[in-house]
Amino acid sequence: MSSPVMTPGVPPVAPPPRRHRSLAGPFVLIVLGIVCLLGTMRVLSLSRLAHLFANYWPLLLIFWGIIKLLEHQRAQREGTRAPGISAGGIFLVVIIVVFGLIATQVERVNWSGIRDNFNIDDSDFSDIFGQSYNFNDHLEQDFPAGASLKIISTRGAVSVHASDDNKIAVVIRKRVGASSREDADKYNSETKPTISTIGGLVTLDAKSEGAGDHPIETDLDISVPRKVQVSVISRRGDVNLSGRDGGVDISAQHSDTSVEDVTGNVKVNQEKGTVKIEQVTGDVHVQGRVNEVSVADVKGSVQLDGEFQESVKLARIAKSVVFKSSRTDMEFSHIEGTLDLNSDELHAEQITGPLHLTTRSKNVRLDEVSGDVRLQDDNGAIEVGMRTVGNVQIDSRNGDIQLSLPDKAGFRLDARARDGEIQSDFSELKVDNGEHEGKASGSVGNASSHIVLNNEHDGIEIRKASSQPPKPPEPPTPGKSGKALTAPKVKVEPTEN
């Protein structure tokens, strides 16, 4: 009997080495978690976290790549497959890249410029990115004789008034936006105002930008000897100066500027805001782009250059006035009354010429004008009332001309109205209104002045001052008996501005 044949057994197949899971995703999450923890513990402010992420987010991808490379090398040594990137990992990479690119672009935006353009207060940013903390401080020292003062303030109001001694005293009120009291104290110490003297110049610097991008608002209340010349550089904040016997020079942005009681010249260069100047014995020069300008009681000359978007008001200017903008050029000798100019109308009274005015798309009304007049207007009605008659030339397109002259005025007139008619209260003038054109000419009295009127596409009226509609009656005033005096009823015809 033969013995059975023994068949060798097949050795069991060893299972493949287990593939390790990737550590890249957990590593990135741990880093993000630590950073967020520092934020919630107020070790880092929200603005600081945003700044760090906007500038260093690619490091997360670099660390991720390094981890994947190390995992691949370990898998080769162990003879296993390197761990791949899961769907969750791909999603996380996409999120990091998208938000990183957005954060980088946001970081590059000029937020200060946007805040200035939209007139957003620094306190608004303080409320968003943290709390607001207030600090008070005080500086005082002797002011050198004969020196001038320069004030630098990028954020905050500046107020300058006369002191009773020969010292400069500064009261400082500061508002700091921060996520904690510790941060606020740090930013406050970094933005301490300083006073420095070089030669004949004393410089007061508010140091508002000493803390970088953190919102700091510093208000300065300054007392300085009255005779000191003062210059102010302010980027954002109201400026108020009063009681000066020296010159004033202001360069400001986004400010409501007020200057009052100055014996000397005043110069203001400003972007946005309002400018108000009163009681100045020297000359006044305002330039820039502002919303409103008001200048009154100036014994010198006034010059306005720039764009004044809403209104310009002038009153009682003793010497010449020069106004230049994209729509209006104006110059005259002085004004005893008032002038009000806005985007649609120009109304002035008691102006002394020679007056030169060129404008467009405005209704012009000038009352009690003395001297020579040269006026040109397109697309607007013109009304001029002369107190004393000089040489007058008025040119208009698409707007009526009405000229009022004293009853006993002496002048020689040449007038032409194309596509319009001419009307006159002076019988000495010869008026000829044709089908397409009206003409008038002639002399009145001694004909010492020459008046030339030209109008395209509208009419001309030449009136005697006594024939003009009377002004509305003044409000009743009490008489001696205590009863109100009743003004006679006067019918006033409506007039076109």
Tally of domains in the chain: 2
In a domain, 286, yes or no: no
Retrieve residue 297's tokens.
């009681």
Q: Are 151 and 204 in contact (CB under 8 A)?
A: yes
> What are the tens digits of pLDDT across the range 284-334?
999 999 999 999 999 999 999 998 887 999 999 999 999 999 889 999 999
3-state helix, strand, coil in the chain (%, to 5): 20, 45, 35
Domain termination site, one of 86, 109, 132: 109
120-156 burial: b if 16+ Cβ within 10 Å, else e: eebeebbeebbeebebeeebeeebeeebbbbbbbbbb
Domain-located, residue 157: no
Return all residues near 256 (Cβ < 8 A) that are at least 6 apart.
238, 239, 273, 274, 276
- Look at residue 432 and tell me if it is in a domain: yes
426 within domain boundaries: yes
Across the range 100-112, mean pLDDT stands at 70
Alpha-carbon gap, residue 412 to 39, rounded angstroms = 85
Read off the pLDDT band of 471 (50, 70, 90). low
The Cα-based distances of 268 to 276, 281, 295, 310 in angstroms read 10, 16, 12, 18
Q: What are residue 339's DSSP bridge partners? A: 314, 348
pLDDT score at 125: 46
What letter would DSSP give residue 336? E
Cβ-in-10-Å burial (0-12, 13-18, 19+) of 492 comes to exposed
CA–CA distance, 250 with 264 (Å, rounded to integer): 14
**pLDDT recorded at residue 32:** 73
User: What does the pLDDT read at residue 113?
Assistant: 53
Residue where a domain terminates, one of 81, 109, 137: 109
- Report yes or no on 306 lying in a domain: no
Question: What 3-state DSSP class applies to 190?
Answer: helix
Q: What residue numbers bound the domain in which 426 lies?
A: 327-497
Q: What is the pTM of this model?
A: 0.70
For the beta carbon of residue 197, count every other beta carbon within 10 angstroms. 12
Residue 16: band (very low, low, confident or very high) from pLDDT cuts 50, 70, 90: low
- For residue 163, being part of any structural domain is answered with no
Question: pLDDT tens, 212-268?
Answer: 767 789 999 999 999 999 999 998 899 999 999 999 999 999 899 999 999 999 999
Q: How confident is the model at residue 63 (pLDDT cuts 50, 70, 90)?
A: confident
429 inside domain:
yes
Residue 236 located in a structural domain: no
Q: Which of 109, 127, 154 is the last residue of a domain?
A: 109
Indicate if the pLDDT at residue 53 is higher than 60: yes
